[in-house]
């Protein structure tokens, strides 16, 4: 190398002489070498230069005729660099800095002319300068030839060289040689044009000064360079980084999200480092100078950190729920007159679709044709199995209900044409009723008023309250209890022949604080049902005497014959229909079939089949018989709760008048009733009161919805109106049968 | 559900013969986790019911009364299912099916009565064994936690 230097020196000097004059400051520089040096270094785009140089050097090597080559020419100069770099060690570069303030040398190695200008004083000696930039130098020279290199520079330069070498080496060290090569190529490309510029334009150098490149990398990946201006702050660098990482970062992060870390390198030259996060306001150039006096190597790339979370661009999460909403909407709207209203459409007895809605509800998302429809069509729909265990613990509940909680906006947006019309007529506003979006979806339609959440949580709470009382359940109205608020005040008929199951179901009904009665066989069940006032029947399928399916069929038949609920208006299927509304009057229902108090049968009772069978065929059978829904044993209490709430709420809304009446009614005559009605039921008058009262709280909402329903469906009310008068009589009577 | 979690933590491992989730929801209904009055009464009620049912099954076997066996199987199936006694429940379902001259899966078969009876007879033995295991576990459970 010595030879080379020797040979080169003259060349450099020349160049230096030319170049040095350029920078007026340069003379000063010797005193405060560092500052100028730094500037130079940054401007020089060290890495890029080095690389470019190397390439050139390679070419040159082959030529290997340094002598002949004039300083001015770029090509010639570069060759020198390569040889030098390898020889010199990093340590030198670093250590040298102290020794020779001129550190700037590196900068020279770096392509940038600007550095050259300032540094030149020092550089001049060694020529080293970059050689790569020989061209530049030439340009410079033109400006001030007067400046000659300072003698000292030479030594410093050599020392610095190494730093360049380091850079080159470092890439090689990195496993990512491939990347580096690619980078170098790209960089070299960039450089080339600049080089030409240098020659051509005097201005170029100025520009060059402002730009430099720094290494950055993401943790665990290869380093890359970004171009910065001398004065750039870390904040600016972040922007550049985002541009550089346009895909991986740029799409998801904003520059404020990005943090940069710098790894200290120890003076010792070791790479053991501590690190520091750079503040956005810090000057990149200065930081780099400070911490990497010899120049930044690839290994010292600033580390880019980004937060884990992604910035919510299009907020995919939100999008999903909305999407779902929209999905559901159409259906809801389609069915419902008042989309916003929770219960309306499906509940109105008049709509033939009622049952179908109900049947689908609790069970699953699969479309289930309603049982009545099955009778007519003769086809059995696919059945989902509600009993599936998985379901119980899973997140079912929250899923739809919560999201729906309708923000008015959503409703508006989603509303289909029909919906809008309705809305406008009834409610121009978005719908204040967020009561329950669930309602909108057919499945959940029933539940609306009731907080879904209640099922799991509340239960435990209830227990807590109850604990004190040991075994005895107080069915009395406990205003404080959660259940009261959650479960509609319905009357449930439990039909179950197994005493064990019966006891459990009873206990469960107690907890739900709903009224209930029991029947041990199908025949008994029908008898009980005829008393009226039941909203929900939990029907075991296999029963002695009369099995659950037969009992169900019988109940449906009686409903039809007596024109209860849906049947009164709905299709021809019922012969009764032709005769009009008269309940017991017509010949159709025989005396034995007529129901005592039609007022108590506002709508077809909901029959939920209970079966221990896992067979699909059994479920089909159950639906075909007229059951609305089914549960698989062992009955999951959570499911049961849900069923009770869903169906119960629906029924409660339909029978709102009934409820109101019941309230008064039950207060006065509860005792009688209980006696009259129940053989097996454990309900106490207190319980009834409690229920009803509890229900009162919700009534406001219910009223609203009900009123709407009524408006639309005045016809159905025929039976309903009679309710008031009949109500009292309903209590005890059984088969009194009207003529 | 907090309660059930607490309760379940205290529960022994019932093994695969008892479905923990199902049984826990019954335990959950206990007002007092110390004496577990409610669930205990249910469980012991089931013991009685099972004993009675097995006796009926035995006599029905003697009488070759398939339909009675089927309904007995169904009967016990209901309560055992409710308690989460899966093994017992499954065996009872088999008995129910065999009694209806169906195979295990509930499909009609052409087995003659003798064949069905022998299947039932075998299954009854199995169910009794299953039951005894469950009974042992449950009694231990209530013995441990009970007064």
**Continuous H helices in chain B:** 2-10, 20-27, 37-62, 66-83, 86-99, 113-145
| Closest residue in chain A to residue B26, using alpha carbons only | A504
Structural domain boundaries of chain B?
Answer: 2-142
Q: Which residues of B touch A389 (CB under 8 A)?
A: 21
Q: Does position A356 have pLDDT exceeding 90, yes or no?
A: no
Flag if B29 and A511 touch (Cβ within 8 Å).
Answer: yes
For residues A349 and A28, give the distance between their C-alpha atoms in angstroms, rounded to a whole number.
98
Pairing of strands A211-217, A302-305: parallel
Q: Does position B39 have pLDDT exceeding 50, yes or no?
A: yes
Nearest residue, CB atoms, A501 vs list B37, B78, B106: B78
For residues A245 and A249, give the distance between their C-alpha atoms in angstroms, rounded to a whole number.
5
Confidence at residue B35, expressed as pLDDT on a 0 to 100 scale: 77
**How sure is the predictor about B56, in pLDDT bands with cuts at 50, 70 and 90?**
very high
Q: In what order do the strands lie in the sheet with A515-519?
A: A515-519, A491-495, A536-540, A606-611, A629-632
Ranges A66-80, A396-410, B32-46: which has the least confidence = A396-410
Pairing of strands A629-632, A491-495: unpaired
User: Do residues A386 and A630 lie in contact, with contact meaning Cβ atoms separated by under 8 Å?
Assistant: yes
Flag if B1 and A470 touch (Cβ within 8 Å).
Answer: no
- The Cα of B31 is separated from the nearest Cα of chain A by a number of Å equal to 5
Q: Which residues of A touch B106 (CB under 8 A)?
A: 613, 615, 617
Q: Does position A94 have pLDDT exceeding 60, yes or no?
A: no
Confidence at residue A293, expressed as pLDDT on a 0 to 100 scale: 79
Ranges A149-163, A267-281, A449-463, B31-45: which has the least confidence = A449-463
A680-701: pLDDT as tens digits: 333 333 333 333 333 333 444 4
| Complex confidence, ipTM | 0.84
Long-range contacts of A672-678, Cβ-Cβ distance < 8 Å, separation of 24 or more: A672/A731, A672/A732, A673/A731, A673/A732, A676/A531, A676/A731, A676/A732, A676/A733, A677/A517, A677/A528, A677/A531, A677/A533, A677/A731, A677/A732, A678/A517, A678/A518
Structural domain boundaries of chain A?
Answer: 2-305, 480-727
**How sure is the predictor about A300, in pLDDT bands with cuts at 50, 70 and 90?**
confident
Flag if B89 and A612 touch (Cβ within 8 Å).
Answer: yes
Tell whether omega for the bond before A634 is within 30 degrees of 0, i.e. cis.
Answer: yes
Q: What pairs with residue A506 in β-bridges?
A: none
Q: Does position B52 have pLDDT exceeding 90, yes or no?
A: yes
- The Cα of B78 is separated from the nearest Cα of chain A by a number of Å equal to 6
For residue A302, the surrounding DSSP H or E stretch is strand A302-305
Q: Which two tokens stand for residue B2?
A: 């907090």
Q: Which two tokens stand for residue A197?
A: 């510029």
Residue given tokens 């339609």 in the structure block: A445
State whether residue B130 sits within 8 Å of chain A by CB: no
Q: Which residues of B touch A393 (CB under 8 A)?
A: 21
**Continuous H helices in A127-201:** 134-143, 153-173, 177-200
A401-410: pLDDT as tens digits: 343 333 333 3
| Closest residue in chain B to residue A509, using alpha carbons only | B29
A interface toward B at CB cutoff 8 Å? 389, 392-393, 456-457, 459-460, 463-464, 466-467, 469-471, 473, 496-501, 503-504, 507-508, 511, 540, 542, 544, 612-613, 615, 617, 633-638
Confidence at residue A222, expressed as pLDDT on a 0 to 100 scale: 83
Mutate to test the interface with B, among A397, A504, A610 (most CBs of B within 10 A): A504
Residue given tokens 């099954």 in the structure block: B57
Q: Which residues of A touch B1 (CB under 8 A)?
A: 456-457, 459-460
Average pLDDT over residues A324-340: 40
Flag if A499 and B21 touch (Cβ within 8 Å).
Answer: no
- The Cα of B7 is separated from the nearest Cα of chain A by a number of Å equal to 11
Flag if A634 and B32 touch (Cβ within 8 Å).
Answer: no
**How sure is the predictor about A113, in pLDDT bands with cuts at 50, 70 and 90?**
very low
Confidence at residue A478, expressed as pLDDT on a 0 to 100 scale: 35
For residues B40 and B29, give the distance between their C-alpha atoms in angstroms, rounded to a whole number.
11
List Cβ neighbours of A193 (8 Å cut-off, separation of 6 or more): none
Nearest residue, CB atoms, A467 vs list B1, B19, B31: B31
For residues A171 and B36, give the distance between their C-alpha atoms in angstroms, rounded to a whole number.
73
| Closest residue in chain B to residue A500, using alpha carbons only | B79
CATH 3.30.1340.30 fits B2-142, yes or no: no
Question: What top-level class would CATH report for the domain A2-305?
Answer: alpha beta
A319 exposure class (CB count in 10 Å sphere: 0-12, 13-18, 19+): exposed
Nearest residue, CB atoms, A470 vs list B21, B31, B77: B31
| Closest residue in chain A to residue B70, using alpha carbons only | A542
The third-level CATH classification (topology) of the domain covering A480-727 is Rossmann fold (3.40.50)
- The Cα of B13 is separated from the nearest Cα of chain A by a number of Å equal to 19
A125-178: pLDDT as tens digits: 444 444 444 444 444 444 444 444 444 444 444 444 444 444 444 444 444 455
Confidence at residue A28, expressed as pLDDT on a 0 to 100 scale: 43
Average pLDDT over residues A95-106: 42
Chain-wide mean pLDDT for chain B?
A: 81
A4-47: pLDDT as tens digits: 555 545 444 444 434 444 444 444 444 444 434 444 444 444 44
Flag if B31 and A542 touch (Cβ within 8 Å).
Answer: no
Chain-wide mean pLDDT for chain A?
A: 54
| Closest residue in chain B to residue A511, using alpha carbons only | B29
Q: How far does Cα A358 stand from its chain's mean position?
A: 30
Q: Which residues of A touch B50 (CB under 8 A)?
A: none
Q: How far does Cα A23 stand from its chain's mean position?
A: 59
3-state secondary structure A24-68: CCCCCCCCCCHHHHHHHHHHCCHHHHHHHHHHHHHHHHHHCCCCC
Q: Does position B18 have pLDDT exceeding 60, yes or no?
A: yes
Q: Which residues of B touch A470 (CB under 8 A)?
A: 31-32, 37
A652-677: pLDDT as tens digits: 777 666 666 655 555 555 455 444 54
């Amino acid at each position: 190398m010595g030879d080379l230097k020797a040979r080169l020196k003259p060349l450099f000097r020349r160049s230096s002489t030319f170049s040095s004059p350029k920078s007026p400051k340069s003379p000063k520089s010797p005193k405060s070498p560092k500052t100028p040096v730094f500037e130079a270094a940054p401007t020089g785009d060290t890495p890029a230069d080095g690389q470019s140089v190397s390439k050139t050097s390679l070419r040159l090597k082959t030529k290997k005729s340094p002598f002949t080559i004039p300083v001015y020419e770029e090509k010639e100069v570069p060759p020198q660099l390569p040889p030098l770099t390898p020889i010199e060690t990093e340590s030198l570069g670093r250590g040298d800095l102290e020794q020779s303030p001129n550190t700037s040398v590196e900068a020279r190695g770096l392509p940038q002319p600007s550095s050259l200008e300032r540094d030149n004083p020092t550089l001049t000696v060694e020529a080293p300068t970059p050689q790569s930039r020989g061209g530049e130098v030439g340009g410079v020279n033109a400006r001030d030839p007067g400046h000659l290199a300072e003698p000292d520079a030479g030594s410093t330069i050599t020392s610095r060289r190494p730093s360049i070498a380091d850079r080159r080496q470092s890439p090689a060290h990195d496993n990512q040689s491939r990347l580096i090569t690619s980078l170098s190529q790209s960089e070299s490309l960039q450089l080339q044009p600049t080089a030409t510029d240098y020659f051509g334009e005097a201005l170029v150098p100025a520009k060059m000064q402002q730009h430099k490149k720094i290494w950055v990398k993401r943790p665990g990946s290869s380093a890359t360079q970004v171009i910065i201006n001398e004065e750039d702050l870390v904040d600016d660098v972040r922007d550049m980084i985002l541009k550089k990482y346009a895909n991986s970062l740029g799409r998801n992060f904003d520059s404020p999200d990005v943090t940069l870390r710098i790894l200290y390198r120890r003076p010792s030259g070791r790479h053991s480092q501590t690190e520091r996060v750079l503040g956005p306001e810090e000057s990149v150039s200065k930081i780099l100078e400070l911490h990497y006096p010899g120049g930044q190597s690839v290994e010292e790339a600033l580390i880019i950190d980004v937060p884990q979370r992604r910035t919510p661009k299009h907020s995919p999460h939100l999008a999903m729920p909305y999407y779902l909403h929209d999905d559901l909407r159409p259906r809801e709207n389609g069915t419902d007159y008042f989309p916003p209203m929770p219960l309306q459409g499906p509940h109105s007895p008049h709509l033939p679709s009622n049952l179908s809605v109900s049947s689908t509800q609790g069970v699953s998302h699969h479309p289930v044709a309603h049982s009545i429809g099955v009778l007519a069509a003769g086809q059995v729909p696919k059945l989902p199995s509600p009993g599936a265990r998985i379901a119980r613990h899973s997140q079912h509940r929250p899923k739809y209900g919560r999201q729906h909680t309708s923000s008015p906006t959503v409703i508006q947006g989603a509303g289909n044409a029909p919906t809008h019309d309705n809305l406008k007529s009834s409610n121009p506003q978005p719908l204040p009723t967020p009561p329950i979006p669930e309602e909108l979806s057919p499945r959940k339609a029933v539940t609306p008023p009731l907080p879904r959440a209640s099922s799991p949580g509340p239960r435990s709470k209830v227990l807590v309250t109850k604990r004190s009382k040991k075994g005895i359940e107080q069915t009395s109205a406990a205003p404080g209890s959660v259940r009261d608020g959650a479960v509609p005040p319905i009357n449930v008929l439990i039909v179950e022949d197994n005493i064990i199951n019966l006891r459990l179901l009873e206990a469960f009904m107690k907890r739900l604080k709903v009224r209930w009665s029991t029947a041990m066989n199908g025949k008994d069940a029908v008898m009980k049902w005829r008393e009226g006032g039941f909203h929900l029947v939990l029907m075991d399928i296999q029963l002695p005497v009369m099995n659950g399916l037969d009992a169900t069929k019988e109940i449906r038949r009686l409903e039809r014959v007596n024109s209860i609920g849906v049947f009164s208006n709905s299709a021809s299927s019922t012969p009764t229909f032709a005769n009009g509304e008269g309940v017991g009057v017509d010949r159709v229902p025989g005396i034995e079939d007529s129901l005592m108090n039609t007022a108590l049968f506002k709508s077809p009772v909901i029959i939920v089949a209970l079966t221990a069978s896992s067979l699909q065929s059994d479920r089909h059978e159950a639906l075909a018989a007229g059951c609305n829904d089914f549960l698989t044993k062992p009955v999951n209490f959570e499911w049961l709760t849900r069923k009770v709430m869903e169906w119960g709420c629906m029924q409660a809304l339909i029978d709102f008048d009934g409820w109101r009446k019941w309230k008064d009614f039950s207060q006065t005559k509860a005792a009688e009733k209980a006696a009259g009605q129940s053989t097996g039921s454990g309900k106490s008058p207190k319980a009834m009161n409690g229920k009803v009262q509890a229900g009162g709280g919700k009534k406001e909402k219910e009223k609203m919805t009900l009123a709407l329903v009524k408006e639309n469906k005045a016809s159905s009310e025929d039976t309903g109106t009679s309710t008031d008068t009949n109500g009292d009589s309903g209590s005890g009577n059984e088969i009194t049968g009207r003529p | 559900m907090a309660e059930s979690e607490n309760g379940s933590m205290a529960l022994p491992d019932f093994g695969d013969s008892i479905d923990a989730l199902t049984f826990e929801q019954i335990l959950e209904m206990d007002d007092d986790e110390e004496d577990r009055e409610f669930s205990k009464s249910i469980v012991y009620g089931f013991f009685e019911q099972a004993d009675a049912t097995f006796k009926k099954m035995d006599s029905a076997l003697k009488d070759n009364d398939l339909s009675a066996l089927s309904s007995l199987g169904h009967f016990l199936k209901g309560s055992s299912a409710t308690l989460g006694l899966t093994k017992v429940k499954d065996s009872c379902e088999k008995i129910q099916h065999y009694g209806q001259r169906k195979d295990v899966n509930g499909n009609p078969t052409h087995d003659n009565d003798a064949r069905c009876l022998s299947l039932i007879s075998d299954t009854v033995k199995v169910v009794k064994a299953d039951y005894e295991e469950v009974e042992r576990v449950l009694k231990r459970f209530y013995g441990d936690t009970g007064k």
